[in-house]
């Protein structure tokens, strides 16, 4: 089945710094989602991005479907950005599977 | 308010006991999903349902059962056959055609 990888697995940033998270997938997909899981476990859907680039405030995402990867950019990071970031893709059987996540810690 | 409600927030299971986790959504979503998350790990799919009265096994269905008698409800039963049930359980839903997932706040299940 389709494999999803994320890098880096862990990231520590000083508040105000920028970062790029990457998601690679092994097969073609017709959409990709990015999620943020806060320290209390709540998962928030950040982007639904089959292709191209989308922006939402300090966050933006780019998916290059033909090359099977997506990037999540976080600019001017804040402590509230801490948590785990997951990407997720659908499979041919209507399942949605998740990557292993990137754990982000933003320190003041 | 529209959303996905999971209950209870915390649940304790005695050995040999079946327990049921509730998931209700009022978003009129077609599909619903159950995921399991172990500490420091990603999400693994237990079961999913695209329509009422139909559901499919995910990657780790053994020891779990579900039902989908109503569009808005998708309860998960953790049976005594699940030998390592301690985990954080997340329910999600989406429109069938789009598959943009929205999650409930989760249930933490622990074994006494």
DSSP secondary structure letters along B3-19: -EEEE-SEEEE-TT--E
Taking the Cβ of residue B103 and every Cβ of chain A, the question of whether any pair is shorter than 8 Å is answered with: yes
Region A85-104: mean pLDDT is 90
| Lowest model confidence (mean pLDDT) among A67-76, B22-31, B83-92, B95-104 | B95-104
- Residue A92 reports pLDDT greater than 90: no
**Chain-chain contact of B88 with A41 (C-beta, under 8 angstroms):** yes
Region B78-83: mean pLDDT is 91
Q: What is the structure's pLDDT at B95? A: 86
Write the residue in A33, A42, A99 that is nearest to B42 by C-beta. Answer: A99
Q: What is the separation of C-alpha A57 from the centre of its chain, rounded to a whole number of angstroms?
A: 15
Taking the Cβ of residue B98 and every Cβ of chain A, the question of whether any pair is shorter than 8 Å is answered with: yes
* Separation CA B51–CA B70 (nearest Å): 9
Q: What is the structure's pLDDT at A28? A: 87
Query: What are the φ/ψ torsions at residue A68 (nearest 5 degrees)?
Result: 60, 50
pLDDT category of residue B112 using cuts at 50, 70 and 90: confident
Write the residue in A93, A96, A99 that is nearest to B101 by C-beta. Answer: A96
CB B108 within 8 A of CB B8: no
* pLDDT tens track for A37-79: 999 999 999 999 989 999 999 999 999 999 999 999 999 999 9
Region B46-54: mean pLDDT is 94
Taking the Cβ of residue B102 and every Cβ of chain A, the question of whether any pair is shorter than 8 Å is answered with: yes
* Separation CA A26–CA A29 (nearest Å): 9
Q: Taking CA atoms, what residue in A is nearest to B103?
A: A43
- Residue B26 reports pLDDT greater than 80: yes
> What are the distances in angstroms from CA B9 to CA A72, B22, B34, B106?
30, 10, 15, 6
Q: Of all residues in chain B, what percent carry a pLDDT higher than 70?
A: 96
> What are the distances in angstroms from CA B101 to CA A63, B30, B43, B98?
18, 11, 13, 9
Region A17-38: mean pLDDT is 95
Q: What is the separation of C-alpha B59 from the centre of its chain, rounded to a whole number of angstroms?
A: 13
């Amino acid at each position: 089945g389709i494999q999803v990888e994320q890098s880096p697995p862990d990231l520590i940033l000083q508040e105000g710094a920028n970062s790029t998270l990457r998601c690679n997938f092994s097969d073609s997909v017709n959409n990709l989602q990015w999620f943020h899981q806060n320290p209390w476990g709540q998962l928030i859907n950040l982007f639904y991005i089959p292709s191209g680039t989308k922006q939402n405030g300090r966050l933006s995402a780019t998916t290059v479907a033909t090359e099977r990867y997506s990037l999540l950019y976080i600019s001017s990071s804040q402590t509230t950005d801490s948590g785990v970031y997951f990407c997720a893709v659908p499979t041919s059987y209507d399942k949605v599977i998740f990557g292993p996540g990137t754990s982000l810690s933003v320190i003041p | 308010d529209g959303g996905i409600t999971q209950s209870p927030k915390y649940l304790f299971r005695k050995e040999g006991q079946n327990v049921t986790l509730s998931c209700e959504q009022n978003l009129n979503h077609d599909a619903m999903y159950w995921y399991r998350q172990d500490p420091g790990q990603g999400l693994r799919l237990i079961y999913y349902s695209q329509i009422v009265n139909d559901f499919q096994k995910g990657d780790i269905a053994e020891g779990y059962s579900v039902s989908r008698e109503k569009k808005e409800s998708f309860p998960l039963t953790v049976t005594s056959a699940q030998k390592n049930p301690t985990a954080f359980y997340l329910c999600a839903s989406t429109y069938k055609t789009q598959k943009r997932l929205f999650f409930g706040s989760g249930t933490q299940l622990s074994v006494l």
